[in-house]
Amino acid sequence: MKRLAIALLVVLCGCTSNPSREPRETLPTPPPAGEPGDLIGLTSVQLQGLLGKASFARRENGSELWRYDNSQCHAFFFLYSEAGKMRVRHVETVPHGPTTAADPSCLAALRGKTPVS
């Protein structure tokens, strides 16, 4: 009986697979940290009043993602519930800014203040 148990254990150990030797896919580097201070904390009503209706909106698990588009860039606003109101907590643009995740020229273009170059 002992020999059978040992033989079974040897067979089972032989069935384990070796870790994959394939190269791992690397993620792109994250955008630089930093938030546009004039937009963080805005309520959803204030954000819509400033930029209009979002091109795309998604609600999930008590948070919302609003995307605004123009021909040169896309801005993503992440809203979370605070004191019963949805408020902007993070902003990113694609492409991102040179020193922050949100490019100021993209945000200005979305506001209609300046064109994106």
Examine residue 85 and state whether it is found in any structural domain, yes or no: yes
Examine residue 22 and state whether it is found in any structural domain, yes or no: no
Residue of higher predicted confidence among 93 and 11: 93
Examine residue 63 and state whether it is found in any structural domain, yes or no: yes
* HEC profile of the chain: CHHHHHHHHHHHHHCCCCCCCCCCCCCCCCCCCCCCCCCCCCEHHHHHHHHCCCCEEEEECCEEEEEEECCCCEEEEEEEEECCEEEEEEEEEECCCCCCCCCHHHHHHHHCCCCCC
Examine residue 52 and state whether it is found in any structural domain, yes or no: yes
- The boundaries of the domain holding residue 66 are 43-117
Q: What is the pLDDT of residue 31?
A: 66
For the entire predicted model, the pTM comes to 0.70
Examine residue 27 and state whether it is found in any structural domain, yes or no: no
Total count of domains within the chain: 1
Examine residue 20 and state whether it is found in any structural domain, yes or no: no
Average predicted confidence (pLDDT) for the chain: 83
Position 58 pLDDT exceeds 90: yes
Examine residue 19 and state whether it is found in any structural domain, yes or no: no
Examine residue 36 and state whether it is found in any structural domain, yes or no: no
